[in-house]
Amino acid sequence: MIDAVTKKLAFSHLWVAFGAFLLACFMGEYQVLERSGFIPAIESPSVYFASVSTHGVLMAFVLTTFFIMGFGYVVATTSLKQPIWNPQWAWAGFGISSFGTVLAAIPLLTGKASVLYTFYPPIIGHWMFYVGATLLIVGSWLWCVIMIMMMREWKQANPGAPVPLAMFATVGNALLWLWTSAGVALEVLFQLIPMALGWMDTLDPGLARTLFAWTLHPIVYFWLIPAYTAFYVLVPKQAGGYLFSDEIARAAFVVLIVFALPIGFHHLYMDPEQAKGWKLLHGVGTFVVSLPTFITGFSVIASLEIAGRLRGGKGLFGWIGSLPWRNPMVLSVILSLLMLILGGFGGLVNASYAMNAMIHNTAWVPGHFHLIFAGTTVIMYFAIAYYLWPIMAGKPLFSKDMALVQLWTWFIGMTILTTPWHVLGLLGQPRRISGVEYNSLLTLAWDPYELAMIFGGLVMLGSACLFVYNLAMTHSSQEVFEGEIEYAEPIHPVTDLPEYLNDFTLWNKVIAGLMALSFGVPILQFFFMKTFGSSAWGF
């Protein structure tokens, strides 16, 4: 049973998240249209870059942060069966994050923070953008504290008992976020805000890029872990089976959280400020972090096979046809895994030094990014919303058929959109361009791919509208629905766990050691090496 406070908190967060998502989808379609050059009347580099920056902030920071907080509150109260620790803090976090979002939106929409939603000086946006983004993060830190305190209280009340897997993953994600956001927080507080306010004349972009690399890649796993949580704790039950292994799931989360952090330098392979040895270290870590993804893929497929065989599936692949494909959660995980396979392959290309040089700063990069984020991750956000909405609203889903159409069209649209993106990258199209100002055989050859991307974007925009419409109609329905969140049981019940799979104290120490090893010298060097006028903090 979800209490009234949790419902109100969760709905508030989720509606902000999905409102931002819908607005960002319209901007995304405008961008592919503008960049194609097919409609001269809408060509405007300034509007394009303002749109790209706003689209990125809405998708990467607002949708994700608010969704993760809202989903986290539901997971915490239903898996631990206890009320939210300090709801006043929860509302304060929501208020601070919301105010920060509005504050950041003002310069974004007026074209004064067209920094491509990244934090790479010397491109500097308006100070309101940086202060707003900081407040968005500060609000989410309160959520992290609440998650940690709720797990601690539960463990004190249930000494030795295994923490529910859903909460274990959620607290792990909160810790990951605290570690992850520290890098960009240092950059914004000590470099970008003072620079934007005119308090200093210069800063060291090398240090800024290093601090942003601290945050840049782990943040992807912050977005991804709720999807993995659904993979493990919701999908098996919805498929009609059991979780393959609770212990393997915990091990996957631990490895993911520990090794997601010290790997950001594969974004700096082409940058000169870090030595090759550090890049090699981070590159190896990037390949290590692919292991929990392989484990997750294996575990989820094994769980689905159990469900398929329990439903009567026979033979080597007969269980696949026995799965409840019309269940939105089951359909979503299948489509999500398909996109994860393709997106993961692209990620391995990015992590490889030589191949990275081939696709560096080309259209391949946003193609890969969209496939992992908007494909693998966001489609599971849809599935979670379709599952939670009827339970929290007490009303049946407005249209299950519409949900299935929406999921398929999102998958198809994503495929049509991102495949040309990857091809254009291999053909040499740069990323971060608003258009092509010259015509040559090379750039003219890009036109069919641009046309395909416009069509894919339209399909996705229609799908996004269907999603929000379905949720809104569910909310306004007069019918009644009663249901409870059902977490998947492991096929072999867990009665006892080693502490390292039931707590993060040890892993926090491991993370601290790895971060000191991988970022210590690379950051400190900026404070003792000669930088010819660009001081580290600008003081």
418 contact partners, CB below 8 Å, separation of at least 6: 367, 368, 370, 371, 375, 456
Least confident of 36-45, 182-191, 360-369, 523-532: 523-532
Nearest Cα to 433, choosing from 125, 49, 39, 121? 49
pLDDT-based confidence at residue 538 (cuts at 50, 70, 90): low
Query: In this predicted model, which residue has the larger pLDDT, 3 or 532?
Result: 3
DSSP structure string for 41-56: GG--HHHHHHHHHHHH
Nearest Cα to 122, choosing from 215, 217, 202? 202
Does residue 438 carry a pLDDT above 90? no
pLDDT of residue 536: 65
pLDDT-based confidence at residue 442 (cuts at 50, 70, 90): confident
pLDDT of residue 55: 96
What is the mean pLDDT of the segment spanning 400-429?
96
Q: Which residue has the tokens 């039931």?
A: 502
pLDDT of residue 273: 86
**Selection from 82-91, 204-213, 357-366 with the highest mean pLDDT:** 82-91
pLDDT digit string, tens, across residues 498-512: 999 999 999 999 999
What's the rounded Cα separation, in Å, for the pair 537 and 203? Answer: 6
What is the mean pLDDT of the segment spanning 232-243?
97
pLDDT of residue 128: 97
pLDDT digit string, tens, across residues 173-213: 999 999 999 999 999 999 999 999 999 888 888 999 999 99
Does residue 539 carry a pLDDT above 70? no
Q: Which residue has the tokens 């005119």?
A: 198
Which amino acid, residue 119?
Answer: F
pLDDT-based confidence at residue 535 (cuts at 50, 70, 90): low
pLDDT-based confidence at residue 24 (cuts at 50, 70, 90): very high
pLDDT digit string, tens, across residues 87-123: 999 999 999 999 999 999 999 999 999 998 788 888 8
Torsion angle of C-alpha atoms 22, 23, 25, 27, degrees rounded to 10: 170
pLDDT of residue 533: 66
What is the mean pLDDT of the segment spanning 15-32?
97
Tell me which residues are annotated as active site.
217, 221, 368-370, 431-432
Q: 166 is written with which tokens? A: 């859903």
Mean pLDDT, rounded, of the chain: 94
pLDDT-based confidence at residue 305 (cuts at 50, 70, 90): very high
Nearest Cα to 141, choosing from 193, 209, 69? 69
